Amino acid sequence: MSVTPAPQGSLAAPPAAPAPAGPTGRRALGWRLRFGLLSLIWGFSFLLIKVGTDGYAPFQVTLGRLAFGTLVVAAVLVTKRERLPREARTWAHLAVAALLLNALPFSLFAYAELTIPSTLAGICNATSPLWGMALSLVALSEDRPTRRRVAGLGIGFIGVLTVLGAWQGFNGLDFGGTALALLASLSYPIGWIYVRRTLAGSGHSNLSLTGAQLLLATAELAVVTPLFTSLPTHFPVVPFLAIVALGAIGTGLAFLLQYGLVAEVGPTTAQMVTYFVPVIATAAGVAVLGESLSWSTPVGAVIVLAGAALTQSRPRGGSRKRDQSGARGHARNGTDRS
């Protein structure tokens, strides 16, 4: 990503489109409100995962999330009378994208939150731009390292060590859960790079590709879930409602908001939502779930976000050009990141 970081697992980007007609002030207010709403949705997704796993197995939470998210996108597809891709090759690539950008990271975060607080999961999610920068230097020849971006990578990982309390020997840290959350964050840029190499310029609309991707991710979880879980003997209402919200709002609606933002203001501005997500996730975890918070967590999160911002920085001259061209294909590398 010069790889676009997007927390929650999307795939395709809408083609560049002019902002809706109307007064400039109204347009500006519109996208800012949607930007804030998307930040809130993705920030609260980690809380919803935590609540969902209180009543259901992690794979069941992920399957429900994907199913309800798919229903929302499918409803929009039907309304707009758009068709899913027909080429077998496209479906094969989408199956890999569904695994790397949806099924795998969603499941890893759900398992992680069995043993770590939602605040830590949200902060681990913010490391995706760092992983993306490191991987893109190896996998994408057009992404050349600069001193600023390399410095951002180093600063970001210092922030990770701060969050984890490295100077205390990681006392009280659940290594298994933290590792799963970090692996989930790593899965996103791997998926973005794969999509960038295989599906960029496919000619299909972002809505069509996303609908197919979510459908495939749901099918993947539908196969895996019965193998590792048993049918619940009771169905707790609050965790179930959390899963419904996580899918319909945190996945389906969030994807649609993300694409609208990329089309209107470009990927460079739209991707900034990533830097608000851990802040909201931390505030939600502490205020709603009563999770504890040591000083190193918010301090480390600020360092992580500063490093991530540096890894995404580019020369001023290329910024506008990137936004104009990137709105067509760059957010194909986005995700639903939680």
Mean pLDDT for the stretch of residues 99-115: 97
Mean pLDDT for the stretch of residues 55-70: 97
Angle among Cα 200, 210, 321 to the nearest 5 degrees reads 40
pLDDT of residue 37: 93
Mean pLDDT for the stretch of residues 45-73: 97
Task: Give the C-alpha distances (Å, rounded to integers) separating 121 from 82, 96, 111.
Answer: 36, 24, 11
Q: For 265-284, what is each residue's pLDDT tens digit?
A: 877 677 778 778 888 898 89
Does pLDDT of 18 surpass 50?
A: no
pLDDT of residue 25: 46
> 50 phi and psi, to 5 degrees?
-60, -45
- Residue 30 pLDDT class (50, 70, 90 cuts): confident
Q: What's the token pair of residue 190? A: 């791997």
Secondary structure element (H or E) that encloses residue 169, with its range: none
Does pLDDT of 207 surpass 80?
A: yes
State percent of the chain over pLDDT 90.
44
Q: For 141-157, what is each residue's pLDDT tens digit?
A: 556 667 787 888 788 88
Q: For 215-261, what is each residue's pLDDT tens digit?
A: 999 999 999 999 999 988 889 999 999 999 999 999 999 989 988 88
**Distance from chain centroid for Cα 226:** 26
Higher-pLDDT residue of 149, 97 = 97
- CB 11, CB 332: distance < 8 Å: yes
Classified as helix, coil or strand, 290 is coil
DSSP state of 8: B
Classified as helix, coil or strand, 165 is coil
- CB 10, CB 336: distance < 8 Å: yes
Nearest of 141, 67, 120, 107 to residue 296 by alpha carbon = 120
Neighbouring C-beta atoms of residue 76, cutoff 10 Å: 16
Burial bucket for residue 160 (CB in 10 Å: 0-12, 13-18, 19+):
buried
What gap in Å lies between CA 265 and CA 263, rounded to an integer? Answer: 6
pLDDT of residue 90: 95
**pTM score:** 0.82
Q: For 278-325, what is each residue's pLDDT tens digit?
A: 888 988 999 999 988 788 778 888 888 888 787 766 665 544 444 444
